[in-house]
Structure 1
Amino acid sequence: MENLSRRQSNQDMASGPLLERKNEVPSLSVITPSYRPDLELCQELNRSLQKYGPPSLNHTIIVPAVDLEAFTGVGDVRVASGYLPKSFIPVPGNIWINLRRPFPPIRGWITQQVIKLEAAARSKASVALLVDSDMVFIRPFSVSTFYRNGQTRFYRAANAVHSGMQRHILWHRVARKLLGLPPSDQLPLHDYICWPMAWDPEVVRSMLRRVEEMTGMQWQSAIAAQLHFSEGILYGVYVDEVLGGAPYSEKTMLCVNYWDETPFDERAIEAFMSQASPSDIAVMISAKSRTPLEARRRALAAMEVIHTSIPSPG
C-alpha cells in the first residue's frame, strides 16, 4: 500500500470516518491469516461461514506462498507477501527483515498484524471482520449483527485492564506512542481485544494515516519496529481517544473462548459449554491448546445443538 497520507484527498479526510452512512448498502468481508498447520481448522471455519453467514459474504484467507496450493478451494485465497511492503524480506525462523529499518527484526506475529491491518485498509466493505483459523461460527449472523444505522459495531470492555495485565498495559503505551498521544498509565484501562473483531475499513485507513503523520514514516515500518504491539488496542485507542468514541459500542464479544494452552478433556468441554450465552454466534478454541480435532468437533457440535433453538442476534 502506498503512503496513505498522500493517497487520501483532503475532501475525503474532512468527511470523517465515523460519519453515518445511512444510504450505503451494507456489506461484510471476513479476513483470516492462516498457514498450513491450521489448514483443517481453516476449512472448518470456512464451512461454518458458508453455513451461517450471509450469502454475499467474502472470506479472504491470506497464506504464505508455499501454502497457496494446499488452501486452494478454501475461500478467496491470497498470498501474504502481497499485503506487505517489498522492503519486508522473510528469513528462516518466521522472521522478517525490513530493508528500510533492519533492526529490530520483525517477528512473525507482528508481521501477521501488519497483514491484517493492510487487508482491512484495502477492504471496500462496510465491515471488515477479523477471524482467526481456530474460530467456528455456530449460529446464523448477518451484516446487521455488526453494522447498524450506518455504524460498525465497536467492542469495548470498559476498565477491564488492571495492574496484573502487563502485556495489555504495554500495548496501550505502544498504541499511544504510534498515535501521537501523551503517555498515560492511569489504571484501569479499556480492553478492545475480541474475537471476531469488527472494524470499519474507513476508520482503519484514517488510523493508519494518523500513524504516518505522527511517526513520519510508512505505517508498516512504524508498527514493525515495535517489539510489542496489538492491532486491536491500536484501533480501540484510536476510536476512543482520537475520534471521541463510537456511537455503536458493545461490551460483549459474541464469541465464547478457550484460551488455555492445554488440550480439552471431557470435563473442560462441559465447563466451556457452560460459558456460552444467547448472544454468542461463534466459538474459539485456541490452536495453541493442541486439542485433538475430534474432541474439538464434539465440543462444537454440542454448542451448535444448544444454540439451535435460540434466535440469532443478527
Structure 2
Amino acid sequence: MSLQVVTPSHAPDFPSFARLHRSVIEHTDPMVRHIVAVPDRDVPLFRSVDTGRLDVIGYRAVLPRRFVSTIPLARIPGLPRGFRINAVNATRPWPPIRGWMLQQLVKLAVVSTLEADVALLIDSDVLIVRPLVESTFRDKAGVVRLYRSPHGITPAMTRHLAWQAAARALLGTSKVEPDSPDYISAFASWDPELVRASTSRVAETTSRDWRDVIGSRLDFSEFIFYGTYVMTLADARYRTNTQQRSLCHSHWDPTPLDLEHADRFLDRLHPDDVAVHIQSNSLTDENVLRHIAERMRSGS
C-alpha cells in the first residue's frame, strides 16, 4: 500500500508550488514522494527545492520525441490570441498542442507510470492543512476514492458538455451517465491501474498511441475522462467508493481575497477537509496567501 502526490506546475507558479510542497512535507508520512511535472526549461528551478522528497520530471521524460516544443514561438499566427501553443506532434502537426492540453497529457502519462496504489493529484495553488494518510483515499476493500459530483454539469456548461462528449468518443462508449456528474477538482485521488486501463482503451479503440489521440483534441478534461472510464467501463467494484466532497475547501471565484475575506473563507473549512485551494486566477495577493498558510499552520 502506498501514496504518491503528483502536481503539474511551471515557473510562474513556483512560489505557490513551494508553499504546497512545504505543506506536503509537513502533513504526510516521510515515505510519501511528491512528484512535480514541469516543462523542461523549468526543471532546474524546481530542483532548487532540496527537501529530499521531491521528484522533478520534465515533459520530455514522459512524452514521445515526436512532441516538439514550440515554446519560443509563444503563439502561431492565424490562431486566436488566447490559443497558446506549447508543442507540435511532428507526425501530425495539425492541430498544434496547447499548453493546457500538454499539461493534461503529462499528468496522465506520469500517473500511468506509478506503481503506487494511490496517486493524489494536487494543483500548485492548493495548501495541505491536515494530515494526508492513504486510508483517507481507499476504502476497506482497497478501492480508490473517486470525487464525483452528481448533476454537477448543467445544460448551460457548454465546455463541460464538450469534455463529456470527448471522453465518450475517446473511450469508444455510448454510455451516458444520467446524472451528468462533474469530476473536476484541484485535489483528486486516482488509481494508477485505472489510468493505465483508460489510456489503453483509447489505444485499442483508435489503433493509435493514446498520447497522439488525446493530444490532437481541442476539447478534453483529464478528470472527466478518468471519471467517465471508471463509471462506465471499469469493473463495477471500482465504483463503490465515489464521494461528493473533494476534501478540499476551494475559492473558485476570480475575485481576489483580502485578509478579511480570507479569514471568513477559512472559518468555513469543513471538519473533514484536508486542503484549501485559492485559484491562482483570482490573483489573490501573495501577502494574503502567506497569511492563510500561517493561520493554518498555527491551527487558529
Given the two structures, how large is their TM-score scaled by the length of structure 2? 0.89
Shift of 1:216: 1.8
* Alignment gaps of 5+ in structure 2: 75-84
Offset of 1:192 from its aligned partner? 1.1
Counterpart of 1:229?
220
**What is the aligned partner in structure 1 of residue 68 from structure 2?**
89
Q: Retained in 2: the 8 A contact 1:163–1:187?
A: no
Alignment of 1:182-261 (within 5 A): 182=174, 184=176, 188-243=179-234, 244=236, 246-261=239-254
Which shows bigger deviation, 231-240 or 93-102? 93-102
Q: Of 36, 46, 49, which residue of structure 1 is paired with 2:11?
A: 36
- Are the counterparts in 1 of residues 175 and 232 from structure 2 also a CA contact under 8 Å? no
After superposing the two structures, state which structure 1 stretch, 241-250 or 210-219, moved more: 241-250
Task: Determine whether 1:156 maps to 2:148.
Answer: yes
2: CA distance, partners of 1:65 / 1:160: 35
Q: 1:303 deviation in Å?
A: 4.1
Rounded to whole Å, the distance in 1 between the matches of 2:47 and 2:230 is: 36
- Secondary structure at the counterpart of residue 191 of structure 1: coil
Are the counterparts in 2 of residues 263 and 291 from structure 1 also a CA contact under 8 Å? yes
Matched, 1:76 2:62: no
Q: Distance in 2 between matches of 1:72 and 1:300?
A: 22
In structure 2, how many angstroms separate the alpha carbons of the residues matched to 1:290 and 1:267?
Answer: 16
Give the match's secondary structure for 1:95. Answer: strand
Deviation, structure 1 residue 122: 0.2
SS in 2 for 1:161: coil
What is the match of residue 98 of structure 1?
89
Q: Which consecutive residues of structure 1, in runs of 5 or more, have no partner in the other structure?
A: 1-25, 309-314
Which of 287, 290, 297 is matched with 1:294 structurally?
287
> Which of 271, 278, 290 is 1:285 aligned to?
278
Task: Give the match's secondary structure for 1:60.
Answer: strand
Kept in 2, the 8 Å contact 1:30–1:128? The answer is yes
| Distance apart, 1:206 and its partner CA | 0.7
Does residue 60 (structure 1) correspond to residue 57 (structure 2)? The answer is: no
Q: Kindly provide the CA deviation profile for residues 10-47 of structure 1, in whole angstroms up to 9, marking residues without a partner as x.
A: xxxxxxxxxxxxxxxx1011111111111111111111
Distance 1:204 1:117 in 2: 7
Q: Is 1:263 matched up with 2:263?
A: no
Q: Is the 8 A contact 1:162 1:187 kept in 2?
A: no
**Letter of the 1:249 counterpart:** T
Distance 1:255 1:146 in 2: 13
1:162 and 1:188 in contact (8 A); partners too: no
Aligned-pair CA distance for 1:124: 0.6
Amino acid at match of 1:27: S
How many Å separate the matches in 1 of 2:297 and 2:165? 39
Over the aligned positions, Cα root-mean-square deviation in angstroms equals: 1.7
| 1:39-78 CA-partner distances (Å, limit 9, x unpaired) | 1111111110110012210001112222222112432112
Q: Is the 8 A contact 1:32 1:132 kept in 2?
A: yes
What secondary structure does 2:287 align onto? helix
Q: Report the Cα distance in structure 2 between the residues aligned to 1:69 and 1:250, rounded to whole angstroms.
A: 38
CA distance in 2, matches of 1:304, 1:191: 31
Aligned-pair CA distance for 1:223: 0.5
3-state secondary structure, aligned to 1:202: helix
Q: Tell me the amino acid that sits aligned with residue 238 of structure 1.
A: Y
TM-score with structure 1 setting the length: 0.85
Contact kept, 8 Å, 1:135 with 1:282, in 2: the verdict is yes
Give aligned pairs, total.
281
Equivalent AA in structure 1 for residue 98 of structure 2: R
